[in-house]
Each structure stands twice: as structure tokens, then as C-alpha cells.
Chain A
């Protein structure tokens, strides 16, 4: 019954590794997002897809690559992980690209790079 589910919930990995985080929503929403929340709780948007089309691509290192195989899924792949990538990553979805109805968030993936 989970509306937005992301896996894994925790991810501990070494510098230089490549990892992926998966996200799926069963709300029928058209738009999905990846957010990064740093240790100071600041929420920063990274990417947004609307019906599989990339519509927001904020200034993030190109080691981060989103992939949306269909509008219910948005995965995040990170290459060559660095210490500074440690954060909580949230997937979210909304009914429309403006987020006028708000977002539904996944439970977050806590990434720790050692």
C-alpha cells in the first residue's frame, strides 16, 4: 500500500563505488523528483521527470544520473561516490509538474560514503 517506495533505506558504501537507489510510486502521478537533504536538513531538488521526460536538472555533478523507465519509476544512479555525497535522498511524486498539489515523499535513503 506504500504510495512512494524507495529502496534501499540505508546504503553504506566505500568511496569510488557506484550505487543505485530505486523509487516507485503507485499514485498514478505524472511527475517524480529526487531531492537531497544534507546534514543541516536543507532540501535541494536534483531532478524531476514528467511522464518520463526530464524537466528539472539542477546543478549536480554528472556522476548523478536519473533514469525513468516509465512514469511510475524514477531511479538514481551515482558513479564514483565521494564523501560529500553522504546525505539522505528522497524520492517524491506529484500530480502536476508545478507541485501545486504538494508532493508525496518516499521514506528516504540514507547514503553514507566511507
Chain B
């Protein structure tokens, strides 16, 4: 079965705190892609990162970092020194790459509130 689990429904932090959003996925494919998207209160869906299953190197982009661990089937997202503008719903998604799959598998999202 292909599945993405974001166990944290809502997270609330105070500005400047670090926060980690968890994403656990299930797939039997050996080749797949993982994604994070951000949906701010304005409503648009913004692509953040794409990760190939063969590339377990962690990624850092400014205050954002991603930890991909195949051993635990996790692709966690950390925001360092959070800011109010980080308040959004964050979605993790999986693109299996075998068989007849033709769609992303989405998590239910984690709503992050960063309070001043």
C-alpha cells in the first residue's frame, strides 16, 4: 500500500522556536519521490522540495531543512528559528514510480501556527 502519514495535525510554537514536522511514508517501490508543499493562509499551494529515493543527503535551504531516512521511511521537515510567516499548512507527498501509479499520495497536512 502507498501511504503518507503526517501524525501531527496541529502544532503551535512561539516565534524563534525550532519546529519539526514529521512525515512517514509507505511504499514497496524502490524508486520514488517525496515532496513538501506549503499552504499559507492565502490559500495557494507552494512547492518546497523534491527528494529522490536514492538521495538520502539532507537538504538545507535557509531556515528550512529536511531529513530523509529510508531506514525509518521518514522525510521530516525542520524550521529553525520559526517566524510568523511560517504559519501555514504543510503537506508531505509521495510519488511512487512503479506500476500504473499516476498520482501523488498526499498526507493530511500539519497546520503550523507560529505565534509572536
Contacts and interface: CB of A to CB of B under 8 A. Distances in A.
A101 B95 CA distance: 9
Contacts of A110: 43
B64 interface: no
Contact of A42 (B35, B50, B101, B108): B108
Contacts of A56: 102-103
12 contacts: A40-B108, A41-B109, A42-B108, A42-B109, A43-B91, A43-B106, A45-B104, A98-B95, A102-B95, A103-B104, A104-B47, A108-B45
Nearest to B34: A102
Interface in B30-46: 33, 35, 39, 43-46
A75 interface: no
Q: How large is the interface on A (under 10, 10 to 19, 20 to 34, 35 or more residues)?
A: 20 to 34
Given A41-B109, A55-B102, A98 B97 contact: yes
Interface string A76-106: 0000000000001010100001111111110
Nearest to B50: A102
Interface of A: 33, 40-43, 45, 48, 50, 55-56, 88, 90, 92, 97-105, 107-108, 110
Given A98-B95, A108-B43, A41 B101 contact: no
A9 to B, nearest CB: 9
